[in-house]
Amino acid sequence: MIAIREARLPDVAALEDLARLAYSLYTQRMDRLPAPMVADYSAAVREHQVWVAEEADRVLGMLVLVPEGDVMLLENVAVHPDAQGRGLGRDLLALADQEAARQRMTEIRLYTNEVMTENLAYYPRHGYVETGRAEQDGYRRVFFRKPVGRG
């Protein structure tokens, strides 16, 4: 059974490993490492809202949320390749929506890289609408938004 809980500093190494595994598929498509593979998860756990999904003490998923005014930035959602297809991504997106609603946010925003074509199809199935594309921090990003409580 998978349990979702708030991340703690001792989880940082597992978060780094998860990011490396979950995003390794995209390294061949990009000219640099995906941003989640080089993120500072220690800072994220200290400064943002981070959850881990675990089963038998093994981290299989993560969610990183950053409140920005009345908007919740979904900075990262990742699922271990071994756990994909089990609905864990959907559950983590639902948690993002619940947290945004609990904190009285008006919408959730996220972005992905344009070469992560799987995500470009995935997010619209969960209520997100593409709002634009632009280069940001050296990455070609696709931006999405969703009103809180929809989808």
Residue-wise pLDDT for 82-104, tens only, equals 999 999 999 999 999 999 999 99
Q: Is CATH 3.40.630.30 correct for 3-109?
A: yes
pTM for the full predicted model: 0.95
3-class DSSP string for the chain: CCEEEECCHHHHHHHHHHHHHHHHHHCCCCCCCCHHHHCCHHHHHHHCEEEEEEECCEEEEEEEEEEECCEEEEEEEEECHHHCCCCHHHHHHHHHHHHHHHCCCCEEEEEEECCCHHHHHHHHHCCCEEEEEEEECCEEEEEEEEECCCC
pLDDT at 88: 96
Report the distance separating Cα 84 and Cα 93, nearest Å.
14
Residue 150 has pLDDT above 70, yes or no: no
- What does DSSP say about strands 129-136 and 139-147: parallel, antiparallel, or unpaired? antiparallel
